[in-house]
Amino acid sequence: MTDIKSMTGEELEAALREMGLPRYRADQLFHWMHVSLARDYEEMRNLPAAMKEMLRRTCEYRTVRMEDRQISAADGTQKFLFALPDGNLVESVFMRYHFGNSVCISSQVGCRMGCRFCASTLNGWERNLTPSEMLEQVYEIRRVTGEKVSHVVVMGTGEPLDNYDALVRFIRLISDPKGMALSQRNITVSTCGIVPCIRELAREKLQITLALSLHAATDRQRREIMPVAGQYSIAETMEAMRFYYETTGRQVTFEYTLIRGVNDASADVEGLAGLALPVRAHVNLIPVNPVRERGYAQTEAGAVQAFKNKLEKSGVNVTIRREMGRDIDGACGQLRRRHILS
């Protein structure tokens, strides 16, 4: 069955034309799905019953169902566990910032990238999410909280560039002026660094922010914590990031998870500065979120600050990511994992 919420406005129009329906019906349907956030065809009051019947028979209307919700007492961060139509579970997070509300979504069920410090990859990869399932994480959070969402980060479970076509379609749909109309400048995609896909993404003419999970400044160190580093060298990855920056004009971000005794020495600061400066990347330092199965420890707060100061002195634009929702299974994949194991 056709996954109707993953279709663009033009595709919808063509599909309805086939059914003998006029263009304005496609506009109404698109509006119901992406602006009114209807939960099903029933709700679409101004559509004729015969049209809804035809849609029910031919087009699947994907939604997600909330299975669990945790609200942080510390900072109001909310973590959601959603069931997909086939019963698979994914996590999404709602966060309040001074610049607006941000939702972090998952792009796959599980992940096959195998980063050593990450909980999302412990059970491997199950399947890709459809564009509609990525949209629905944002839509359902809007329905449930009643809050506006101005920013979306694709930083939940999964490697977005390993689900490339669905990701690009998701970005076009959520930023569609006739839909939720989220500014592409407020969308961040985080990747572990699949080089050919970074280059392809650069050519899509999107205005999104690309964040690279760098986490180490030498190939040897990076290969120890990220299997993808065995496939693409840091040099190749930097070339792709430069291409992205030069083609789109968008500043890129490097994420650097600080792990005690692994990547937090003085030599690492120099290496990181040497990589960030030539492509004028913004560096986001993240104290590693300890995952029980992984055994990595956080760099102490003082040492994190010192690492940041040294980077700044070298001229790098750097921030420390504020930790949110530590009291609610904040780290990637932890809520889902607890449910799968219980």
Q: Does 329 bind ligand SAH (CB under 6 A)?
A: no
Q: Which helix (H) or strand (E) covers residue 143, if one does?
A: helix 131-145
Residue 104: both structure tokens together: 């972090």
Interface residue with ligand SAH among 6, 191, 221, 237 (CB under 6 A) is: 191
Q: Does 115 bind ligand SAH (CB under 6 A)?
A: yes
Q: Identity (one letter) of the amino acid at 175?
A: S
* Residue pair 131/142 in contact by the 8 Å Cβ criterion: no
Candidate ranges 5-13, 74-82, 132-140, 188-196; the one touching ligand SAH (CB under 6 A): 188-196
Distance in angstroms (rounded) separating the CA atoms of residues 304 and 291? 19
Closest CA to 288 of 73, 110, 116: 116
Pairing between β-strand 65-71 and β-strand 100-104 as defined by DSSP bridges: unpaired
Which residue among the candidates 115, 118, 197, 332 is catalytic per the annotation?
Answer: 332
- DSSP string of 17-31, one letter each residue: HHTT--HHHHHHHHH
Near ligand SAH in 84-113, by CB under 6 A = 113
Distance in Å, CB of 319 to ligand SAH, minimum: 14
Please say which residue, 110 or 179, places its beta carbon nearer to ligand SAH.
110
Query: What is the 8-class DSSP label of residue 263?
Result: S
Q: Does 257 bind ligand SAH (CB under 6 A)?
A: yes
Residue 332 bears catalytic tag: yes
For the beta carbon of residue 75, count every other beta carbon within 10 angstroms.
15
Q: Does 279 bind ligand SAH (CB under 6 A)?
A: no
Q: Does 213 bind ligand SAH (CB under 6 A)?
A: yes
Binding mask 39-78 for ligand SAH (x = CB under 6 A): ----------------------------------------
Distance in Å, CB of 137 to ligand SAH, minimum: 14
Pairing between β-strand 253-258 and β-strand 187-191 as defined by DSSP bridges: unpaired
Q: For residue 254, what are the β-bridge partners?
A: 212, 283
Please say which residue, 44 or 211, places its beta carbon nearer to ligand SAH.
211
Residues in contact with ligand SAH by CB under 6 A are: 113, 115, 117-118, 155, 159, 190-192, 213, 255, 257, 286, 288-289, 291, 331-332
User: Which of the residues are catalytic?
Assistant: 91, 332
